[in-house]
Amino acid sequence: MRYLAKTIAIIFVAASLFACKQKTTEKATDVHDRLGKASREDKNGWIYVHLAGSPADIGYQHGYLLSKEIDTLIKVMQYYLPYGSKKDWAFYRKASARFLWKKIDKEYQDEIRGISEGLQAKGLKYDTLDVTALNANIELAQYYVPQLMNKVKPGSGDNKAPGNCSAFIATGKYTKDGKIVIGHNNWTDYIEGERWNVIADIVPAKGNHILMDTAPGFIHSGDDFVETSSGIAITETTITGFKGFDTTRTPEFVRARKAAQYSNNIDDVIKIMSTDNNGGYANDWLIGDTKTNEVAKLELGLKTQKVWRSKDTAMIGSNFPEDPNLIKQETTFDVNNKTSSPNARRLRMEKLVCVDYKGKLDAENGKTIEGDTFDALNGKKALNRCVIDGHIDQDPKGCPEWSEGPYFPMGAVQGKVANADMVSKLQLWAHMGHPSGDDFLAAPFLKKHPEYNYQAKYLRDMKAYPWTVFAAK
């Protein structure tokens, strides 16, 4: 009996060891299989990632390859959002569970779940609600929360919609070769914008191959510079002073990703962005179709929308609305305030895109435009709220129309430019940091402006890197 018991014990231990070994091997194989041919490359301040496969596997690859950066960005949001919105991360998770998750298409639910699984494979404990809240942070913090504020005290939520970005799109006699040229720089708070440094090359199982800039953990671009294998190029600038949000409709981040993945023409983009629109992250969308050489501007509010389109035009965006009906019904925007950032930049953008570079516009001078630091309001070179490459951190007036105080650490954090030939090859020029070439250094800034020391935990230097070409695989 003792011999038999000993034999059984040996068999049990051996079986257990074999099972453990098999489990470990299977786990490693699963990770390898889900990563497929996904890859990551760090270059000139950017992180290029190639992601491909099913929605779940694309998400897993994303979460796995960018786990460190997603972890940091979520921690930044957990720390920083309460300062501006007076709401903690638990609030954003609850909002995601209460009305966002059920409005997300299943394939994007799968991708978000895949991101959380990739993070968990790296030992991080984030779940789908964390990833959803991260993707929806702009529309929740700057559209939904202001709506709640206005319900309690009318007007208290005004001027919370972000004023982000300076952009253009041109075609026909406005460009050097008569084909489309598109450019964009992203304005946002430096504490998060310095981390908005991903170039995502996504090959989904269905729909278009996508090349876009994005932030770690986003399934959409977020600041929106997108090229697709259908020849579509998309960018945008936000509408200053916008008010409106509908919790029963589809989030902007879902519609934006879907428009990129499934649009074959301008009409498709307009339809997808407009269908079941929740009003979140209300933008002037600049859209180009390199197959037809047509461009369009979609000014999309919650209640109203306006479309302009042509094969021979130049269109710009600097956070100003154009449609009088939308301005009156859905914004607090002051069209007569010449000192505002949107209106001052509009003057400069119109002169550069529609006059100075008319007939000569290409990717090279597109890069010059996105890094421009001439103040059209005061007629001189400057670093302030009024220049295309914004530097609110150096502006004694801050940016009142966005409720940002003097010298608030915010402005242009990166830029992208492409021409039609680049779009057709899924290539783009990208510049991390101020496109003007100016560095932002956190320590000297905080020493000079201690009122922003609350950001010191996560505010980092934002170095200006060289313009770099990225291409899809």
> In this structure, what is the dihedral angle of CA atoms 359, 345, 169, 320, given to the nearest 10 degrees?
-140
Token reading at 353 = 């895109």
Token reading at 322 = 């154009």
Cα–Cα dist 263/256, whole Å = 10
Q: Does residue 428 sit within a domain?
A: yes
Whether 304 shows a pLDDT value over 70: the answer reads yes
Q: Confidence band (pLDDT; 50, 70, 90) for 285?
A: very high
Q: Confidence band (pLDDT; 50, 70, 90) for 2?
A: very low
Strand 198-204 and strand 210-214: pairing?
antiparallel
Token reading at 14 = 């051996």
Q: What are phi and psi of 270, to 5 degrees?
A: -60, -45
Whether 10 shows a pLDDT value over 80: the answer reads no
The 3-state DSSP composition of the chain as helix, strand, coil percent (nearest 5) reads 40, 25, 35
In this prediction, residue 182 carries a pLDDT of 98
- CATH assignment of the domain containing 360: 3.60.60.30
Q: Any idea which residue has 């029963």 for tokens?
A: 248
Cα–Cα dist 95/277, whole Å = 17
Q: Does residue 25 sit within a domain?
A: no
Residue pair 290/231 in contact (Cβ under 8 Å)? The answer is: yes
3-state secondary structure of 420: helix
| 135-192 residue pLDDT tens | 999 999 999 999 999 999 998 888 888 888 999 999 999 999 999 999 999 999 999 9
Average pLDDT over residues 81-88: 96
In this prediction, residue 159 carries a pLDDT of 81
Cα–Cα dist 392/394, whole Å = 5
Q: What is the mean pLDDT of the chain?
A: 93
Whether 1 shows a pLDDT value over 70: the answer reads no
Among the listed ranges 4-18, 31-45, 441-455, which one has the minimum average pLDDT value?
4-18
Average pLDDT over residues 400-411: 96
Q: Any idea which residue has 């966002």 for tokens?
A: 100
Average pLDDT over residues 206-227: 98
Q: How far is CA 368 from the centre of its chain?
A: 22
Average pLDDT over residues 292-309: 98
Residue pair 260/228 in contact (Cβ under 8 Å)? The answer is: yes
Q: What are phi and psi of 205, to 5 degrees?
A: -65, -30
CA 166 vs CA 45, 205, 316, 358: distances in Å = 21, 33, 8, 18
Cα–Cα dist 174/361, whole Å = 6
Q: Does residue 167 sit within a domain?
A: yes
Cα–Cα dist 403/260, whole Å = 32
Q: Does residue 196 sit within a domain?
A: yes
What domain range is 152 assigned to? Answer: 39-471
Q: Does residue 148 sit within a domain?
A: yes
Whether 38 shows a pLDDT value over 60: the answer reads yes
Q: Does residue 248 sit within a domain?
A: yes
In this prediction, residue 325 carries a pLDDT of 97
**What is the Rg, in whole angstroms, of the alpha carbon atoms belonging to the chain?**
23
Residue pair 196/412 in contact (Cβ under 8 Å)? The answer is: no
* Among candidate residues 208, 217, 73, 87, the one with its CA nearest the CA of residue 141: 87
Cα–Cα dist 70/62, whole Å = 9
Q: Confidence band (pLDDT; 50, 70, 90) for 333?
A: very high
Q: Does residue 5 sit within a domain?
A: no
Provide the H-helix boundaries in 66-105.
Answer: 67-85, 89-95
Q: Any idea which residue has 């962005």 for tokens?
A: 273
3-state secondary structure of 220: coil
| 356-392 residue pLDDT tens | 999 999 999 999 999 999 999 999 999 999 999 999 9
Whether 26 shows a pLDDT value over 60: the answer reads no
Q: Confidence band (pLDDT; 50, 70, 90) for 22?
A: very low
Whether 449 shows a pLDDT value over 80: the answer reads yes
Residue with the bigger pLDDT between 30 and 124: it is: 124
* Among candidate residues 280, 216, 273, the one with its CA nearest the CA of residue 70: 216
In this prediction, residue 21 carries a pLDDT of 37
Residue pair 349/318 in contact (Cβ under 8 Å)? The answer is: yes
Cα–Cα dist 52/156, whole Å = 44
| 259-282 residue pLDDT tens | 999 999 999 999 999 999 999 999
Q: How many CB atoms lie within 10 A of CB 313?
A: 18
- The tally of domains found in the chain comes to 1
| 311-324 residue pLDDT tens | 999 999 999 999 99
Whether 5 shows a pLDDT value over 70: the answer reads no
Q: Does residue 250 sit within a domain?
A: yes
CA-angle at 351, arms to 350 and 355, nearest 5°: 105
